[in-house]
Amino acid sequence: MGQDTLFSTKKTLRIGGNLLSFDSPKVMGILNITPDSFSDGGELDSSDALLLRAEEMLNAGASILDIGGYSTRPGADDISENTELERVIPVIQMLRETFPDALLSIDTFRSRVAAEAVTAGANMVNDISGGSLDQDMFSTIAALDVPYVLMHMKGTPQTMKNEAHYENMLTEMLEYFRKKLEQLAGLGVTEIILDPGFGFAKNIDQNYYLLKNMSYFKSLGLPLLTGISRKSLIFKLLNIEPRDAVNGTSVLNTYALMEGASLLRVHDVKAAMECIKLTEKIKNTVLA
């Protein structure tokens, strides 16, 4: 476990008219506007609850808030584009008005939702499908000129559990990213974060193998996002409830940071910030 020094990783992200530096890792706080998310579904069912959670995350050190209105847990129900829009657009508008300087991300695989969310005040797009579920997503990102989180996934949220088969997972994922990045580069999209997609078309052992080898993707020279917060690779292995997986999340986030993660997507911002502070201390401490 450790940093791979052979490759140079992009250290900044142009977002919201500013440069977000990854000289030290950053945290993305999760705001699920869904009734059926695996860990916190239905918790943010009022404006007051939502604003309180957002304020807590920002005060705890979150650099970005990620707003999602479509549950992507395995087997989640499909919802219409209009339903997704009805969930997220008012929330983005409210957050932008209340926290004018906050960096907001829209978590969607639909180009129309991405476009309307950015119009409403979102600063970037986080797409679980890597453009695979909407052929217009890449051209939309290019037109919007916003940063893009490119995630690895196979199938859909409804079918991905049946897609967890690979001849060589790491090389197949690397080729997936290379092809997608070539397409994005052809459209002029350069502000990109890579997400290996923990839990998406990967079983528990594959998730741990991926985490163990996450630095493999540093050869692509882009910041890496780790999204493992309270996921089944933790709570199923430990035989606990998702809400009780904060400690396990911190353990795995620490490993991810040592493997080169630049951005942690989490429910529990304070714990993630502590992981970053301690891990950075380990990396940077030198005795005279």
pTM for this model (two decimals): 0.93
Spatial strand order of the sheet with 148-151 comes to 192-195, 148-151, 124-127, 103-107, 64-68, 26-32, 263-266, 225-226
The question of whether 202 is a catalytic residue gets the answer no
What does the pLDDT read at residue 44?
Answer: 64
Given the residues 231, 270, 277, 281, the one annotated as active site: 231
Q: Looking at residue 221, which CATH number applies to its domain?
A: 3.20.20.20
For strand 12-15 and strand 18-21, is the pairing parallel, antiparallel, or unpaired? antiparallel
Instruction: Report residues of the chain scoring pLDDT below 70.
Output: 1-7, 36-45, 74-75
Tell me, yes or no, whether 56 lies in a domain.
yes
Determine the Cα–Cα distance for residues 160 and 222; give it in Å rounded to an integer: 25
Q: Report the C-alpha gap between 72 and 74 in whole angstroms.
A: 6
Residue 112 located in a structural domain: yes
Q: How many domains does the chain have?
A: 1
> Is 36 inside a domain boundary?
yes
pLDDT of residue 5: 47
Q: Is residue 68 part of a domain?
A: yes
Write down the pLDDT at residue 36: 54
Helix (H) / strand (E) element for 199: namely none
| Known active-site residue 11 | no
Each residue of 156-206: pLDDT tens digit? 888 888 889 999 999 999 999 999 999 999 999 999 999 999 999 999 999
Is residue 2, in this structure, part of any structural domain at all?
A: no
Q: What is the pLDDT of residue 159?
A: 87
Of 96, 178, 265, 277, which is the active-site residue? 265
User: Could you list the residue range(s) of the whole structural domain that residue 215 is in?
Assistant: 12-279
Please provide the size of the chain in residues: 288
Give a yes or no: residue 207 inside a domain: yes
26-32 and 18-21 strand pairing: unpaired
Q: Which residue has the tokens 């979150």?
A: 62
Strands (E), 120-258: 124-127, 148-151, 192-195, 225-226
Torsion-angle region of 16 (φ positive above 0: left; ψ -120 to 50: alpha; else: beta): left
Q: Helix 111-120 crosses helix 81-98 at what angle (to 10 degrees)?
A: 20
In a domain, 6, yes or no: no
What's the token pair of residue 193?
A: 């974060």
Does a structural domain hold residue 165?
yes
